[in-house]
Chain A
Amino acid sequence: MQNKARIALTAVSLLGLSMAAQAQDGERYITLASTTSTENSGLFDAIIPQFTETTGIDVRVVAVGTGQAFEIARRGDADSLLVHDTAGEERFVEEGYGTERADVMYNDFVLIGPGGDPAGIADAETVAEALSLIAEAEAPFASRGDDSGTNRAELRLWDSAGVEPGGEWYRELGSGMGPTLNTAAGMDAYVMSDRATWVAFDNPQDLALLFEGDDALFNQYGSLLISQERFPHLKHDLAEQWHNWLLSDEGQQAIADFEVKGQQLFFPNATQ
């Protein structure tokens, strides 16, 4: 019995050691809080290796909704932020959590819906009109409902359309972009998605892209530097290298080169 206890203890310490070793071997890494749209589309898989090759720094991505990403950063748990909610990002800097915010890239939101388009939004002139048509038809609409960047943008668009969404047809799912698309596909609902997640999405079933191109659907991504004063323990040097690389020619080119199914998904627009 004592032998077995000894074996068990040895096993525990070995497992513990091996995990500690894993934690050690990437000493030069930063934790990046970002959004599901960037992670799910595969952007990070494409650009981070290039950054790592140049600098030797690994980037560990925690992909969550923009709201949660801000919360993680506010608690001092992330070295860097890459999100898409310009208003929220500026507030983050104003409140003293961030020291610098910069445009990195953009893509756009698109309206997705059942192929038959029961509300007839495909012919709408503006996104406001398209949303009004959905509300009038009371056609099912699946909203993220998770305080993400996409969710915040969606609510601003309803507001500009003069519609207060609610009722049986408006379904707040409280889910990420992917799960929301899965659910929308299952219940033949309209849904607003960022283009990247939609293009990379593999389970569209009857869903189709019905409306795009309005300037109001512009989706800007920003990178933030986090306050060294407030969070002295963070890896500010490394995070700054990442931030600057994203804005550099090399980083911007890497973003532009990223394609899924032959489509460019993010458009670099850093101002230098």
Chain B
Amino acid sequence: MSDDANAFQTALALILGRDPDLVGIVVLSLQISLTAVLIAALIGLPLGAALALWRFPGHSVIVVALNALMGLPPVVAGLSVYLLLSRAGPLGELGMLFTPGAMVIAQIILVLPIIAALARQQVEELFQEYREQLTSLGLSRLRMIPTLLWDARLGLVTVVLAGFGRASAEVGAVMIVGGNIDGVTRVMTTAIVLETSKGNLPLALGLGLVLLSLVALVNAAAYLMSETARRRLG
């Protein structure tokens, strides 16, 4: 039997068997990535909107920096957080290294630039359209932010999904700051790396398929939601 078919069967068996270890890994993966994306969205969406609405000295520097950070290698993000949270680092007192919290922080660093930069583009487009009307209604720029974010929500769902994609797919950062500790910080991607290094390729691929299905599931749900809304709202 070819490895690929084997991997597919392994994936199916993993899903159908509901192996408690796997369930734990899946739940932890989702908890970490969703928390990171949620926090990154709460910061990144208003930040992106602010960058779309205001021009100030250093504005273009921030925009270019955000765009560049979208390509930040996860390992670099992980290493920075590692040095920050290590006992020998400035935040060592917190004792957060090798915990899920550290993984959330690393993923926020990876996801925040994506959400902020893409949100800025979306909001800027809408701002062009709404600007005169909202000004005419007497809104200050600050008060425009929630309106623009809410009206751009359909596009912003995609933005947040892009962030979730990056968070759930990356391995370099969570490996370094989480340590891939069995039952504590082992997530889908680090488990895949571990199984690969054991030479257990079918299991590694099987886990990969499980991860892919999960991400697909989240995306499908968001897509359906926003399509329905799009049809309804025009």
Interface residues of A (CB under 8 A from B): 1, 8-9, 11-12, 15-16, 18-20, 22-23, 26, 31, 36, 39-40, 44-45, 60-64, 74-77, 176-179, 181-182, 185, 200-204, 231, 233
Given A23-B101, A231-B87, answer yes or no on A202-B201 (Cβ-Cβ < 8 Å).
yes
Nearest residue, chain B, Cβ from A197 = B198
A77 touches B200 (CB 8 A): no
Q: Is the interface of A mostly helix, strand, loop or mixed?
A: helix
Q: Other CB < 8 Å A-B pairs besides A1-B146, A15-B31, 19 of them?
A: A15-B38, A19-B31, A19-B32, A20-B101, A23-B100, A26-B184, A40-B198, A74-B88, A77-B86, A77-B87, A176-B197, A177-B197, A179-B196, A181-B199, A182-B199, A185-B199, A202-B198, A203-B199, A204-B199
Q: Give complex CA distance A9, B88 in Å.
A: 32
Indicate if B73 sits at the interface (CB-CB under 8 A): no
A16-B35, A203-B200 as given contacts; A22 in contact with B97, CB under 8 Å? no
Residue of B nearest to A11 (CB): B38
A7 to chain B, nearest CB (A): 11
Chain B residues lying within 8 Å of A181, measured Cβ to Cβ, are: 199
B197 partner, pick from A18, A40, A233, beta carbons under 8 A: A40
B88 touching A76 by the CB < 8 A rule? yes
**B binding-site residues for A, Cβ under 8 Å:** 31-32, 34-35, 38-39, 41-42, 86-89, 92, 95, 97-101, 104, 146, 150, 179-182, 184, 194, 196-201
Least CB distance from B144 to A in Å reads 14
Instruction: List, sorted by A's number, 27 A–B pairs whose CB atoms are closer than 8 Å.
Output: A1-B146, A1-B150, A8-B38, A8-B42, A12-B38, A15-B34, A19-B99, A19-B101, A19-B104, A20-B101, A23-B99, A23-B100, A26-B184, A31-B179, A44-B182, A60-B182, A61-B182, A75-B86, A76-B87, A76-B92, A77-B86, A77-B88, A178-B199, A179-B196, A182-B196, A202-B201, A233-B95
